[in-house]
Structure 1
Amino acid sequence: MSEEGLRAATLGLSRLAGASPTVRAMLWMLACGVLFILLNGLLRLLAQQLDPFVAGFLRYTAGVVVMIPFIWRAGLAAYRPHTLPGQVWRGALHTSGLLLWFFAVPHVPLAQITALGFTTPLFIMLGAMIFLKERMVVARWVAAVIGFAGVLVVVAPDLSGSGGVYNLILLASAPLFAASFLITKAMTRRDPAHVIVVWQSIMVALFSLPFALAHWEWPTSGQWALFLLSGALGSAGHVCLTRAFALADMSVVQPIKFLELVWAALFGFAVWGEVPGEATFIGGLIIFASTTWIARREARRR
């Protein structure tokens, strides 16, 4: 879906919710979560079929390819960043996290990947308070802690060590992704979402190229098509994420991310017939309650 289509859909929903910047940010984050769950499921499949480093490189290369028509229509000048050093630093950090993520992802179930990734919002909220000087709002931290508790309820029955060291590798990627997103938030003050997303794909593709060449194998025609789809999903998801960061404090929108565990459970049931257990329903209810509470509170406060 194009950025214009995403904007139209989100603005239509936001009118129903009062159209405040905070509500629009939450809706962008909600759309981002759905897109990223679809993307993670697709990338997990591809990383099981190809070398993970090759899969990571091709995912971001495809992200550049799918944006070429938009760049062609708007012209190169419209995609010139004001913060090139920030784009480079963000690309380096995001690539570091990505390499760890792709190395571990073929060996960890999708719902568990999603749940372990929920440590990232806590790093983001802490970093936003320290580096971006966002105000410490107790209610946001309460919502984040309750949401994370819901995640633990869901994954506790499966955290028996089956993922082994790969769980720790996934956890190690969380602070790197958090640092990347903090730089993204800072860059939204000078660059629009489409510029940030395109340059992220360019930087990650360049930084991950040496690792891909060292393990290169050619995808099939069907896999090429799936990589193009992953590029479209990833670019659309990052546009949603960047717009959410531009509209509200990062600590406002991070609790919305916990809903991704619900999407992951639904995706697993729809695609692989995985029936969520009782813990998933209980944890999902806790996550939904915390997210709904902070969303309503922030909307009233604004």
Structure 2
Amino acid sequence: MSQITSVKTTRSSVLGASLMLAACVAYAGVNVATQWAGTKTGIPSVMIAFWQYIIALILTLPFVFRLGLQALRTNHLMLHIMRVALAAAGVQVWIYALTHVPIWQVIALAMTSPFFVILFARFFLKEVVTPARLITAIVGFSGAVIILAPWSDTYTAYALLPVLAAALWAGYSVMTKYLTRFERSVSISIYMLVLLSPINAGLWVASGIGMPEMAAPAMEVWFILILIGTLTAIAQYCQIAAYSEADAVFLQPFDDLKLPINVILGWIVFAAVPDNNFWFGAALIVGASLYLVRRDAGKLPARA
């Protein structure tokens, strides 16, 4: 490798890590603002999800227009709809969880998603599950059980919601991987944006929830909704840009920083302090996730 190539690689790695860190901070802001919207202003979770992605879509429309309608050509429309439906369900469950479960617990339990991916990939993509992968998944789920602490007096069924969201997003990820066999990545991304908002709208209508009386002034309600949508657009942009600069394996540790960042913000805004079970359980989940990604590093295509 020449010195010039080495410098370019280093710059890309630093930029990728910085963008991923920015995405983690933005996502943490989304989570805190979402929990505030649900618990302090009385906005129903279906409304939050709808406006979150409507606002994010509006902010990303210039990118869609630049690519044109050719990016929407597909022979697998139903697969796109099923994939985005899984994502929409995950968003609804996630937001509902944030209005009922401490933020530190929600974030940690959502990190079980890679272990569901292993399970779903085995059954739907016929991928091989090695003993190491199976043990890693068991360790990760053990960490989730420790955080859930179903034996404690404070346990409620709401604590299972982040795990359900993780499972739904894992299904979304596996279907995304399946679609990459036939579709261009740009088409997959655009269909996510175009379909998610109307699906969220349909879920809102189906819920039968109208415009409720808010526990906060209208200006505060709109401010928090616009903030959530804006931070969502920023987070998604930074995350995609990060992956365009550096390898997923390199970026994984920086992506895992979302856990402590969310814990810190939750402590500052809500004075939500994790219990003793959290730290050991979170260490098992993060450790297992990192091991899984590092072990599969050699199976990923190298960057040019």
Q: Which amino acid aligns with 2:102?
A: P
Pair 261,103 (structure 1): closer, same or farther in 2 beyond 3 Å: same
Q: Within 5 A, what are the aligned runs for 1:49-60? A: 49=41, 50-60=43-53
1:57 to partner: Cα distance: 0.9
1:65 to partner: Cα distance: 0.8
Distance (whole Å) between structure 2 residues aligned to residue 234 and residue 155 of structure 1: 27
Deviation readout 1:226-260 (Å, 9 max, x if unpaired): 3334334434555637996xx9999x999997664
Deviation readout 1:83-141 (Å, 9 max, x if unpaired): 43222112223333333333443111112222332443322211122222334244344
How many residues matched?
280
Q: Does 1:139 align with 2:142?
A: no
Name the counterpart of 1:264: 262
Name the counterpart of 1:47: 38
Name the counterpart of 2:90: 97
Distance (whole Å) between structure 2 residues aligned to residue 289 and residue 131 of structure 1: 26
Q: Within 5 A, what are the aligned runs for 1:1-302? A: 15=13, 35-48=26-39, 49=41, 50-72=43-65, 74-77=66-69, 79-82=71-74, 83-156=76-149, 160=152, 162=154, 164-189=156-181, 190-193=183-186, 195-213=187-205, 214-217=208-211, 220-235=218-233, 237-238=235-236, 240=239, 260-299=258-297
Q: Which amino acid aligns with 1:47?
A: G
- Partner SS for 2:197: helix
Distance (whole Å) between structure 2 residues aligned to residue 63 and residue 210 of structure 1: 18
Are the aligned partners of 2:147 and 2:281 in contact in 1 as well (CA < 8 Å)? yes
Distance (whole Å) between structure 1 residues aligned to residue 247 and residue 120 of structure 2: 15
Pair 181,142 (structure 1): closer, same or farther in 2 beyond 3 Å: same
The CA RMSD measured in Å over matched residues stands at 4.2
- Partner SS for 2:210: coil
1:288 to partner: Cα distance: 4.8
Distance (whole Å) between structure 2 residues aligned to residue 299 and residue 27 of structure 1: 21
Distance (whole Å) between structure 1 residues aligned to residue 294 and residue 190 of structure 2: 33
Aligned residues with identical type, % of pairs = 24
Pair 232,124 (structure 1): closer, same or farther in 2 beyond 3 Å: farther
Pair 184,256 (structure 1): closer, same or farther in 2 beyond 3 Å: farther
Q: Which amino acid aligns with 1:184?
A: T
Q: Which amino acid aligns with 1:183?
A: M
Distance (whole Å) between structure 1 residues aligned to residue 229 and residue 23 of structure 2: 14
Deviation readout 1:173-219 (Å, 9 max, x if unpaired): 443332222222223442325x4344323322212224435323388
Pair 299,87 (structure 1): closer, same or farther in 2 beyond 3 Å: closer
Normalised to the residue count of structure 2, the TM-score between the two structures is 0.70
1:283 to partner: Cα distance: 3.9
Deviation readout 1:38-94 (Å, 9 max, x if unpaired): 32222222223212111111111112111112223x142364253432221122233
- In terms of Rg, which structure is larger? 2
Distance (whole Å) between structure 1 residues aligned to residue 102 and residue 46 of structure 2: 19
Are the aligned partners of 1:53 and 1:99 in contact in 2 as well (CA < 8 Å)? yes
Distance (whole Å) between structure 2 residues aligned to residue 100 and residue 91 of structure 1: 14
Distance (whole Å) between structure 2 residues aligned to residue 164 and residue 152 of structure 1: 13
Distance (whole Å) between structure 2 residues aligned to residue 128 and residue 28 of structure 1: 29
- Partner SS for 1:107: coil
Q: Which amino acid aligns with 2:117?
A: I
Gaps of 5+ in 2: 1-8
